[in-house]
Chain A
Amino acid sequence: MSKQVIVNALISAVTFLVLAGWLLGISMQAEPGGVQLVFAEPSHLHWLWGGMAAVFFGQLFFPSQVDKLRHVAQAKKQRFKLPAMDRKGSNLVACFVLAGAIIWPFMVSRGSVDLATLTLIYVMLGLGLNVVVGLAGLLDLGYVGFYAVGAYSYALLAAEGWGFWTCLPIAGAMAALFGFLLGFPVLRLRGDYLAIVTLGFGEIIRLLLNNLTELTGGPNGISGIAKPTLFGLEFNRKLKDGGFDTFHNFFDISYNSQYKVIFLYLMALLLVVLTIIVINRLLRMPIGRAWEALREDEIACRSLGLSPTVVKLSAFTIGAAFAGFAGSFFAARQGFISPESFTFIESAIILAIVVLGGMGSQIGVILAAIMMTVLPELAREFNEYRMLMFGLMMVFMMIWRPQGLLPMSRPHMQLKQEA
C-alpha cells in the first residue's frame, strides 16, 4: 500500500468530517435570549465517526477498484461510431433546465425575477463577447459600445412609434454595422494594441452619446421608452394613446404588476435561448472553426487559404450583433437609458464573465454571468466591502483556476469505425 493512498484516504476522511460535521455534529437550540449552537447528541456523533471510518477504509482499500472502473469507461468511449455530432443526453438535461427556468418566475418574488432578468441580459452579453474574445481571441475592451448602440437604436426608434419586435433586428443590425466599422481599423492589431483601440472605441461611443444632445438627450438620457408588448397587448394598468388593449383587460383578470416582470423575464429567456442556439450552430460551422483557428495561429490560417480579414470582421460583427440585441432589450426593460449605463466598468464586468466562465465555453459563461450578478446582490449587507470581495474572488479564481469555471470542451467528432 503506497504512502499516497494513505494520504489520500486521510484527506478524504477529514473532508468528510468537515462537511458532515456541520450537519450532524452541531445542532441549534432555541433558548431564551436567542439561538444557541451546541454539540449534538453522542448518538449523532457515533454516526459521524462511523462515516469517517467508512470513508477512510473505503479509500484505503478500493481506490484501485475505482480506477479500474474509470479505465473501463474510457475504453468504451474511445471507439469510433457513426458520424454524429450532437449528444442526446445533454439535450434532455437542457430541456429540463429550460422547463425549470420557465416555471421558476411564477413561484418567486418580484425582486428575484427582476434580478434574473438582469442576469439574463449579462448572459447574452457574455455569450456575445465570448465569440470575439473566447473564440476568435480578439481582446475587446469596448464591447459596451455595441451594447449602447443597440440600446439607443431601440430608444430612438421606439420614440418614433416603432414596436419592439421590429426594432430588435434593426438594433442588432446597427450594432453589427458598428462592429464591422470598428473591425476595419483594428485588422492589423493584436493583443494589447487591439485592447487599447477597442477601449478607445467604447469611450468614443459613450462621449458621443453624452454630447450629441439633440439626438440622444446628452447626459439626461432618454426616458419613457415604450415597453415591449405581447402581440400588441400592453402590460400597463391603463392603456396608452393608440394602444390595442391591455393584457389584464384582454384576458379579463385583475391587474398585477407582477405580470410585466414575468413577461420581461420570459422574453429575456427567449432571447438567451435563441442566442445559445445560434452560437451553438456557429461553433459547428466552418466560420466557427475558422475563428478558433485564427485565435490559435493567424499565419497558419493564411497559409491554408483562410482570409484573416473576413474571419476577424465576421467575429466582430456577429459578436456586436448580440450586444445590440441585449442593448435593445435592456432599454425596453429599463424604460430609461443614459450614457451612465455604458461606462467602461460594464465592459470590464462582461469581460470578467467570459474569463471567469472559461474562454469559449458557453455553459461556463452562463454560470459566470449568474455568479457575477447574483453574488453582489447577495452580499448587499457588506455594502462597503462588496467590491473588495468581488476583487478578491477574481484574484483567487485566477490563481486556482486560470482556465475558468468550465473550460471549453472540444467537440468530439466521431469517425466511422472500420470493420
Chain B
Amino acid sequence: MSLLLDVTGLTMRFGGLLAVDKVALRLHEKEVVSVIGPNGAGKTTVFNCLTGFYQPTSGQIVYRGEHLEGMKGHLIARKGIVRTFQHVRLFKDMTVVENLLVAQHRHLDTNFFSGLLNTKRFRKSERSALEFAKYWLDKVGLTEFANRKAGNLAYGQQRRLEIARCMVTRPEILMLDEPAAGLNPRETEDLDRLILELRDQEDVSILLIEHDMKLVMGISDRIYVVNQGCPLADGTPEQVRNNPEVIKAYLGEF
C-alpha cells in the first residue's frame, strides 16, 4: 500500500488562538482513517487546512509527492481530494441530478461554442455525465428522487447525496466530516456499509471525522485522536480504545 497523503507538523493559528498544533497524519491507498476528539479539538480545522479552505500557518501537506500547502481549494479538489461538510451543503434549489452534474463540471465539455451549438461531442459528454450520475444515484438509493429539489430530501438522503456528489468528481481521497451526525441507527448502518463499499469497490481512501464510536471503531484501519489542537494518540482501533489518555480525554470510562 503506497502512501497517499503525508501531513507533518500542521499548525493553524488564528491570531492568539492555536487551533491546530503540529498535527501529523498519514493516509495510504484504500484505507479508512478516522480523526476523533472532543468538540472544539480542531478536527474540522485540520480538514479545512487539508482542503485549502484555510492556509495553514506552518507544516507540510504532501499528496503523492506534491506539496499542497498554500494551494487554492478548488485546485486541491481537482487533484482528487474532496470533502463533505459538517452541515450539509447541497445546492438546495437545484434538482438531485443537477447537483451531480455540477460536480462533474471539469469532466464535461465546457467549450463555450460546442455547448452553444450543441455539437455531437457536447451531447455525448452530457449523456455520459447523466449516466454516471445515474450510476451513483443507484448506489446511494436516490434514483427515484432524481428530479426532486435537493433541499426537499430527508436529512439522511441529503447526507447520501452529498457523498454521491463528491464521488462523481472521481476523487482519490474522500474526506467525510461527521457523516453520521443526525442519522438514525439504521441509516448509520447503511452509511457504514457505503463507506466500506467505497473503499473496496471504488478504490478511494477515506478520511473520517466522527463521534459515533461504534461506526469509527468498526470501519477504521487507523485512528488519530486530537485534543485541544494537539495530537494525543494514534493507532489501530484496539490500541486507541485501550489508551488511558484517550479514555481520560475523550472516550470516558466504559
Residues of A within 8 A of B (CB): 80, 83, 278, 281-282, 284-287, 289-290, 292-293, 295-297, 299-308, 410-413, 415-416
Q: Which of B92, B103, B110 contacts A287 (CB 8 A)?
A: B110
Q: Tell me the complex Cα distance, A306–B105, Å.
A: 7
Residues of B within 8 A of A292 (CB): 91, 93-94, 98, 102
User: Pick the contact of B89 from A80, A299, A413 — CB < 8 Å?
Assistant: A299
Min C-beta distance of A128 to chain B, whole Å: 16
Q: Mark B107-138, 1 if CB is under 8 A from A, else 0.
A: 01110100110100010001100110010010
- Report the separation of the CA atoms of residues A20 and B146 in the bound assembly, to the nearest whole angstrom: 44
Task: Give A293's nearest chain B residue, CB to CB.
Answer: B102
Q: Are A296 and B91 in contact (CB under 8 A)?
A: yes
Residues in chain A near residue B22, CB distance under 8 A: none
A289 x B98 contact (CB < 8 A): yes
In B25-46, the 8 Å CB interface with A consists of none
Q: Choose one: B103, B108, B126, B149; the contact of A304 (CB below 8 Å).
A: B103
Q: A410-B94, A413-B95 are in contact. Are A303 and B101 (CB under 8 A)?
A: no
State A410–B143 Cα separation when bound (angstroms): 17
Q: Which single member of B74, B112, B126, B147 contacts A306 (CB below 8 Å)?
A: B74
- Shortest CB-to-CB span from A91 to chain B, Å, is 14
Residue B60 at the A interface, CB < 8 A? no
**B77 within 8 A of partner (CB):** yes
Listed residue (A285, A303, A306, A412) with the most chain B CB atoms within 10 angstroms of its CB: A303
Write out, one digit per residue, whether chain B residues 79-110 have a CB within 8 A of any chain A CB (1) or not (0). 00011010001111111011001110110111
Cβ–Cβ contact B127 & A302, under 8 A = no
Q: Which of A80, A83, A301, A308 contacts B127, CB < 8 Å?
A: A83
What are 23 pairs between A and B in contact, CB < 8 Å?
Answer: A281-B118, A285-B110, A285-B122, A286-B102, A286-B110, A287-B110, A289-B102, A290-B105, A296-B92, A299-B85, A301-B102, A302-B73, A303-B51, A303-B89, A304-B166, A305-B106, A306-B74, A307-B72, A308-B74, A413-B95, A415-B137, A415-B146, A416-B134
CA A290 to CA B112, docked complex, whole Å: 13
Q: Which residue of B lies closest to A360 (CB)?
A: B93
**Which residues of A are found within 8 Å of B134, using beta-carbon distances?**
415-416
Residues 49-89 of chain B, each 1 if its beta carbon lies under 8 Å from chain A, else 0: 00111000000000000000000111101100011010001
**Are B130 and A304 interface neighbours, CB within 8 A?**
no
A249–B237 alpha-carbon span in the complex (Å): 93
Of the residues A281, A306, A307, contact of B102 by C-beta under 8 Å? A306
B143 neighbours in A (Cβ, 8 Å): 415
Judged by DSSP, the binding face of A is helix
Determine if B165 is an interface residue (Cβ-Cβ < 8 Å).
Answer: yes
Contact assessment for B90 and A305 in the assembled complex, using a CB-CB cutoff below 8 Å:
no
Task: Tell me whether B82 and A413 are in contact (CB under 8 A).
Answer: no
Give chain A nearest CB distance to B219 CB in angstroms.
23
CA distance A152 to B116 in the complex (A): 28
B169 at the interface (CB under 8 A from A): yes
Question: Could you tell me if B105 and A305 are in contact, using CB atoms closer than 8 angstroms?
Answer: yes
Question: Separation in Å of the A317 CB from the closest CB of chain B?
Answer: 11
Residue of B with least CB distance to A305: B77
Interface centre among B134, B143, B147, B169 (most CB of A within 10 A): B147
Output the nearest chain B residue to A307 by Cβ-Cβ distance: B74
Task: Please name the residue on chain B nearest to A308 by beta carbon.
Answer: B74
Is the pair A297, B146 in contact by a Cβ cutoff of 8 Å? no
Q: Provide the bound-state CA to CA distance between A164 and B211, in Å.
A: 67
Which interface class (under 10, 10 to 19, 20 to 34, 35 or more) fits B? 35 or more
Extra 6 A-B pairs, beta carbons < 8 Å, given A285-B122, A303-B83, A411-B98 = A83-B127, A282-B115, A286-B108, A300-B91, A410-B98, A415-B130
A292 CA to B143 CA in the complex, in Å?
22
Q: How far does the Cβ of A145 sit from chain B's closest Cβ, in whole Å?
A: 24
Name which of A80, A304, A306 has the most chain B CB atoms within 10 A of its CB: A304
A256 CA to B105 CA, complexed, in Å: 54
In the complex, which residue of chain A has the Cβ closest to the Cβ of B79?
A305
Residues of A within 8 A of B106 (CB): 305-306
Greatest chain A CB density within 10 A among B83, B89, B118, B149 is at B89
A303 touches B93 (CB 8 A): no
Contact of B169 among A297, A305, A308, A412 (CB under 8 A): A305
B85 and A303 within 8 A (CB):
yes
Interface pair B105/A300, CB less than 8 Å apart: no
* Residue among A299, A410, A411 facing the most chain B CB atoms (10 A cut-off): A410
Q: Is the CB of A297 within 8 A of B91?
A: yes
Shortest C-beta distance, A309 to chain B (Å), equals 9
In the complex, the answer to whether A300 meets B90 with C-beta atoms within 8 Å is yes
- Nearest 10 A/B pairs, CB to CB: A285-B115, A305-B77, A296-B91, A300-B89, A305-B78, A293-B102, A302-B73, A413-B97, A286-B108, A304-B103
| In-complex Cβ contact of A296 among B53, B77, B94, B166 (8 A) | B94
Q: In the complex, are the beta carbons of B77 and A303 less than 8 A apart?
A: yes
**Could you tell me the distance between the alpha carbons of A389 and B229 in the complex, rounded to whole angstroms?**
61
Q: Among A285, A289, A297, A305, which residue has its beta carbon within 8 angstroms of that of B74?
A: A305
| Pairwise interchain contact B146-A413, C-beta atoms closer than 8 A | yes
Q: Which residue of B lies closest to A285 (CB)?
A: B115
A-chain residues with CB within 8 Å of residue B98 when the two chains form the complex: 289, 292, 410-411, 413
